[in-house]
Amino acid sequence: MQAAVFHSYGEPENITIEEVPIPEPKATQIRIRVIASAIHSADIRIRKADPFLVRFAFGLFKPRTGRLGIVYSGVVEKCPEQVTVFKEGDNVFGLCDFSPGAHAEYICVPENSAIARKPENLSHAETVSLPFGFHTALHFFKKIDVQSHKTILIIGAAGNVGIAAVQLARYHGLHITTVSALHAQSKLRQLGAEKTLTVTEFKERSEFEIYDIVLDTSDKYAYSDLVKMTRADGTLILVAGIISALLLAIWHKFRRKVTILAGPASAAAQDIDFIRELAETGQIKPDVYRTFSLREIVNAHKLAESSNKLGVVVIEI
Ligand SMILES: NC(=O)c1ccc[n+]([C@@H]2O[C@H](COP(=O)([O-])OP(=O)(O)OC[C@H]3O[C@@H](n4cnc5c(N)ncnc54)[C@H](OP(=O)(O)O)[C@@H]3O)[C@@H](O)[C@H]2O)c1
């Protein structure tokens, strides 16, 4: 089968399309014929080994498997006898976070992983734009008593996680303020943002407004400023921060002030199925920016890591 493979960390040009063996499902795995995948910040971090910690998970000196692609939408193509949840021919979508490989014609995933039936009202390309951003936003929203919050500030709102956070915040009836590039503002208003600030307006504002929830996907602002913008018993969500954000979260837990949420998002099948339900009932919208073929993966990576993208960069296999 054809697959995108990279043999050394670095630039998009390190990725080539190669012929590799079709994977065989283990006893409790299913094989999926991938119809659509996408390029997300996680693929870019793995490709670049940024941060350095990536190397401990994916290969210290060079990529261990050299495979990318953590979201997929496709058709179940092979089910061993032990598999009970899915059957051949089912349309499914999901995430394979720590075992990327969806930038290929086939992928094997455990039947009990973050996988669900595809929304019936969406194409595979539309469907695959959902799981990455929404499972991340959902992971953090599930940790908050959202009903006790009224306002949210979403920084980096036009990115893949930001757009999902805006849609989930609207689903929960929150009053939404966003920070993004100017060209993203009309899209954010259509999705439910009430107040849209450009990055310059946000940086140059003379005083801080206070929000019940502040969610930052950009990692470009001082934590002390973000804490000041969060209500005393509110929640600050640092989507992008890793070790420093986790340490801050522990420190604030100890001081019992603003609750700080950080760290890797995890997803289970129920989360993916909840995303399906929200999509089928029209409460969230897919967010495809542009589609590329697998052969065009280098250009797709270049667009995905640029400021020009406004939505998800999808790969049709
Ligand atoms: N905790 C987790 O498990 C988890 C899960 C998913 C993602 N992440 C991390 O979260 C971050 C966001 O992910 P993503 O997939 O949403 O990435 P993305 O699609 O690249 O979005 C990042 C957004 O931040 C915006 N931005 C950049 N500088 C900014 C600034 N100074 N002020 C306001 N906005 C700014 C970017 O705008 P422009 O495009 O205009 O520059 C872009 O819209 C990444 O660092 C990713 O690694 C963490």
Residues 109 and 181 occupy one common structural domain: no
CB 100 within 8 A of CB 44: no
- Ligand 1: distance of its center to the CA of 40 in Å? 10
* Stronger pLDDT, 247 or 285, i.e. the higher one: 285
Ligand 1: residues within 6 Å at CB?
40-41, 45, 136, 155-156, 158-162, 179, 181, 199, 217-220, 239-240, 264-265, 307
Residue 221 is part of which domain span?
133-262
Residues 143 and 61 occupy one common structural domain: no
| Per-residue confidence (pLDDT) for residue 256, from 0 to 100 | 63
Mean pLDDT along residues 123-136: 98
| Per-residue confidence (pLDDT) for residue 254, from 0 to 100 | 64
Mean pLDDT along residues 279-290: 98
Given the CA of residue 136, which atom of ligand 1 is nearest to it?
5
Mean pLDDT value across the chain = 94
Q: Is 240 domain-assigned?
A: yes
Q: Is 280 domain-assigned?
A: no
For the ranges 67-81, 101-115, 200-214, 244-258, the lowest mean pLDDT is seen at 244-258
Q: Is 279 domain-assigned?
A: no
- Ligand 1: distance of its center to the CA of 4 in Å? 24
| Per-residue confidence (pLDDT) for residue 270, from 0 to 100 | 97
pLDDT tens readout for residues 47-89: 999 999 899 999 999 999 999 999 999 999 999 989 899 999 9
Determine whether 204 is exposed, middle or buried from the number of CB atoms within 10 Å of its CB (0-12, 13-18, 19+). exposed
Probe residue for ligand 1, chosen from 53, 130, 161 as the CB with the greatest number of ligand atoms within 8 Å: 161
- Ligand 1: distance of its center to the CA of 220 in Å? 9
Residues 205 and 297 occupy one common structural domain: no
Probe residue for ligand 1, chosen from 40, 178, 182, 218 as the CB with the greatest number of ligand atoms within 8 Å: 218
In sequence order, what DSSP letters do the residues of 89-110 get, joined into one string? T-EEEEE-TTS---SBSEEEEE
Whichever domain contains 175, its CATH number is: 3.40.50.720
Residues 178 and 146 occupy one common structural domain: yes
Residue 146, SS3 per DSSP? helix
Whichever domain contains 6, its CATH number is: 3.90.180.10
Q: Is 269 domain-assigned?
A: no
Residues 43 and 114 occupy one common structural domain: yes
Residues 187 and 234 occupy one common structural domain: yes
Residues 158 and 221 occupy one common structural domain: yes
The answer to whether residue 217 scores a pLDDT higher than 80 is yes
- Total domains in the fold of the chain: 2
